[in-house]
Amino acid sequence: MILIIDFGSQTAHLIGRRLRSLGVAVQYADPEDILSAIKTNPPKGIILSGGPASVYEKGAPTVDNKIFDLGIPILGICYGMQLTGFLLKGNVVAGNVKEFGPAMLHVARPAPLFSGLSGKPFQVWMSHGDKVEGVPPGFDVVGSTNDVAIAAMQNPKKHIYCVQFHPEVEHTRFGNLILRNFVTGICGLTTKRASINIPLLIKKVKDDIGSANALCAVSGGVDSTVAAALVARAVGPKLIPVYIESGLMRNGTKEAVVALFKNQFHINPIIIEAKKQFLTRLRGITDPEQKRKAIGALYIELFQLQAKKYKGVDVLVQGTIYSDVIESKGTKHASHIKSHHNVGGLPQKLGFRLVEPLRAYYKDEVRNIGKLLGLPPKAVNKQVFPGPGYAIRIVGEVTPVRLDREKQADDIVMTEMEKAGWLSKVYMCFPIMTGTVSTAVKGDGRFYGEVVALRVIHSRDVMTTTWAHLPYGLLQKMSSRIVNEVPNVSRVVYDITTKPPATMEWE
């Protein structure tokens, strides 16, 4: 077993996911509980995760120094490296140049952690402010980037290895190999191919729901569809799928939901028409957190009203996945990034027992579960769309006029991406009504209108993204059509920010 100490990193849970995929058992503990966790169940290795704090912050999470003398191999990642350097009398400072996103790692000398790598520089993914400027006694520098001289360090005698980057994220090129080197070459564990146990998942859903009827929130997206498929397999006719037409989803979503549930589950989903209610609830709200909470609260109110029409409905099934949870401050030391409408945006009094069968999984795992359940490729591979819909792609107040413009721009983006053969190549593509205005020339006259941003990204598990290098001709086509066809738009800009530091959505 590998013990993962969670300092609140957005990707701490992802470390465990990577290790489980190697067939390695993992256990999580908070830093203040590390010694008791080790005593209760001695691990073969310890991983200190990243985290949002600085080692110099008041109340920053820390660990007992005794762990470094136990002889148990330790891997420190990002904050875990900085804390190791700090506790063992190295020099940790606030970086003058902070690194967020891709960097090239140069491995300086042979090291067990980098066994099997060619020696050529390779891409890693960074997200940090502080850095180790001087290694502790007994440590060697084994890797650097152009901006950080000490990006990896080791003390083989004490079995301590540290990296400033995140090997667990998709965009670190040899991340899985580095983690494998730690658990096999350093900790001495064996690995095996692991797979998702669908019968066990279905049994858990059945046990969680019990004898109750289950109202299932479906949005037409991958997550809620896969969650509904699990519930259908678990409790059959006790599944009551409900689609709320908020007016904030893509055109054709309602029709697609009806067709899917009729064809796949032989169930007619309940449709609640609530466009006016959502626009009324959003009136005057400009803060994105308040938008998400207003949407989440109204969804629950509508589900509660629907539940009263049925006997024995006390369960609400949601397609919540782990990226929703962690961004909504899902662990003790994590930062609050945004209140997802189905997590942090929920009211305190729900009136339901929540059943979230996908809560521990990432987007690519959810797609795989859908395939294993026999869902059609069109439903499993469709492009991601946020639960709050267009409301968080309109910066500022969501008005009927701005909503219509966002939908029109979105139709243009989707149409042109599909015509160019790019729609299936990217994870997400969408426009944003930025709320910023700029001067333009239309018809030889001055025009002052809104700036639209385009975001087109690649990702697998939502935890990291890169921007798509679209052909210039395609960008020009989308820009020209949006400026010419969508009222009150002055210009189009292209967002080329990775995650981190940016999130998937603008709000």
Please identify every residue annotated as catalytic: 78, 166, 168
Which residues neighbour 495 within 8 Å (Cβ) at sequence distance 6 or greater?
A: 432, 453, 454, 455, 467, 502
Angle between helices 198-209 and 363-372 (to 10 degrees): 100
- What DSSP letter does each residue of 288-313 carry, written as one string? HHHHHHHHHHHHHHHHHHHHTTSTTE
Which residues neighbour 393 within 8 Å (Cβ) at sequence distance 6 or greater?
A: 386, 406, 410, 430, 431, 432, 433, 505, 506, 507
Answer yes or no: are the C-beta atoms of 321 and 223 closer than 8 Å. yes
Q: Is 223 annotated as a binding residue?
A: yes
From CA 497, how far away is CA 56, in angstroms rounded? 29
Q: Is 221 annotated as a binding residue?
A: yes
User: How distant, in Å, are the alpha carbons of 47, 176, 211, 457 from that of 113?
Assistant: 13, 11, 50, 31
Q: Is 16 annotated as a binding residue?
A: no
Q: Is 40 annotated as a binding residue?
A: no
- Closest C-alpha to 131, from 91, 170, 181: 91
Q: Is 224 annotated as a binding residue?
A: yes
Q: Is 225 annotated as a binding residue?
A: yes
Q: Is 413 in a helix, a strand, or coil?
A: helix
Place of tokens 């001289």: 149
- β pairing state of 160-163 and 152-155: antiparallel
Answer yes or no: are the C-beta atoms of 181 and 112 closer than 8 Å. yes
List the structure tokens of 246.
Answer: 């908020």
Angle between helices 472-485 and 400-419 (to 10 degrees): 150
- Closest C-alpha to 467, from 458, 475, 476: 458
Q: Is 220 annotated as a binding residue?
A: yes
The DSSP call for residue 131 is E
Known binding residues for ATP: 219-225
